[in-house]
Each structure stands twice: as structure tokens, then as C-alpha cells.
Structure 1
Amino acid sequence: MSEVEEVDERVSLDLLKHKMAKFAKERDWDHFHTPRNLLLALVGEVGEVSEIFQWKGEVPKGLPDWKEEEKIHLGEELSDVLLYLIRLADMCGIDLGKAALRKLQLNAIKYPAPNKYTQHP
């Protein structure tokens, strides 16, 4: 596989978790990947995403006015956020997929959808 290659495989949180674990192990980075260090790295990456949007003002869905290279850069930075988040969850023993599904269920209870058939304007 080339350094940067498009993949056809279906991407899951589990797949990314295993790839991140392998990546860190191959580089002997496991001892650096403490929860604290991963959290700080995650915050730094969120900051980089923020910088991309900093002077853009409000932008419409799909970023239609953005250049392709800007969208690629955003995708790279969002990927960094996702990968650090997945690695952090793994190092904390959290199944992120299950935790996210549970949180969605809790949010549905906390913020129920309006029933459009019984509510009046």
C-alpha cells in the first residue's frame, strides 16, 4: 500500500482503533500515548480545525465556496481529531461506538422529537 492510498474497505471505529494501535506499536509510541498526552494532542488538533474556520465567518453546508485544497486540508485536520479521539478512548478502555450509541439514546430521552401530529403551531 502506498503512503497515501485511497481505500475501498468499509471504515469502522474498530478498524481505525486497530490501525492506530498498530501504528503506535510499530513506532514504539505506546509509552507516549497516555490518556493525558492524547487529550492534549486532541485539543491541539481541535485548535488546528478552529484555525481553518477562524476568518471564514459562517459557511454554508458543503463548503461550496472553498477551494479543493482547503477541503482536503480540513479533512486531514478532522481526521487527526478523530484518530486522537479513538486512540484516547482505546487507552481509557472505552468502547467509543457503544458509548456514542448510548449517548444518542440518552439525548433522545432528554430532547424528544416533537410529535408533528399532536402539536399545534
Structure 2
Amino acid sequence: MDVTDSVPPDQIAALQHRLAEFAAARDWEQFHTPKNLAAALTVEAGELLEIFQWLTPELSLTVMEDAESAERVEDEIADVLAYLLQLCTVLGVDPLAALAAKIDRNEERFPVR
């Protein structure tokens, strides 16, 4: 199954458009350079990691059972995805095509034995 089969590309494009409109309405496009977006993506990924930082592997599997921590996880995942999609928009990268191509390369690099 191809990754692009499971996520409608129009949903990704709609989210990218919505993010672009949100930034434009606030005149934030001037700050949305590839460097700044990559840095923001890293910061948000760090904030996601912070939630799990001192948990044992077993406890990390239960993080979504608590409503408050589940909300924090979802918020940070949303932030990571938002910056990733904005970076893709600025660079002209189709995120689903890039992921599908990467999976293809990994399947060749790491064959099932």
C-alpha cells in the first residue's frame, strides 16, 4: 500500500492552504523562511519529547490514558505537523510524495530477510 493511498492529498493541501492563510492574515510570512521553520519544527519536536523525557518505556505507552497529558501530546504533534507542512509549502515539497519515495528507498536499503 502506498502512503498516498491512505491520506487524501487534498486534505494535506487544504491544511497547508489554511496554515498559509493564517500566517498571511497576521503578516507572519516574512518570518516563514526555511531556516526559521526548520528551527521552529525542532523546538516543537523538543517540546513533544519533553513530555516523555523522564518516563520509562512502559509509562510512555500509557501517556494517552490521562486526558491532560493526551491533550499536551496532541497539541505538540499538531505543532510539529504544522511547521513541517509550512516548511514543505515554502520549499515546494509534496510531503506525501517525499514520504512515499523515502519508504521506497528504505525498502530497497533494508530488505526483509
Which of the five TM-score ranges fits, normalised by the shorter chain? 0.7 to 0.9
- The change in CA–CA distance for 1:53 and 1:62 in structure 2 (over 3 A counts) is closer
SS of equivalent residue, structure 1 residue 104:
helix
TM-score, normalization by structure 1: 0.77
Aligned pairs, number: 105
Larger Rg: 1
Cα deviation code 1:36-89 (max 9, x no counterpart): 111111111011011100111213685267411101110100110011011011
CA distance in 2, matches of 1:113, 1:88: 33
Greater helix proportion: 2
Q: How does 1:29-40 map to 2 (within 5 A)?
A: 29-40=28-39
Superposition RMSD on alpha carbons, in Å?
2.1
1:118 maps to none
Instruction: Flag as ranges the 4+ runs of structure 1 deviating above 4 A.
Output: none
1:78 counterpart = 2:84: no
Asked if structure 1 preserves the Cα contact closer than 8 Å seen for 2:63 and 2:70, the reply is: no
TM-score (norm 2): 0.83
Structure 1 gaps, min length 5? 1-9, 115-121
| Matched residue, 1:3 | none
Whether the 8 Å contact between 2:63 and 2:69 is mirrored in structure 1 is: no
Q: How does 1:99-110 map to 2 (within 5 A)?
A: 99-110=98-109
Q: What's 1:55 paired with?
A: 54
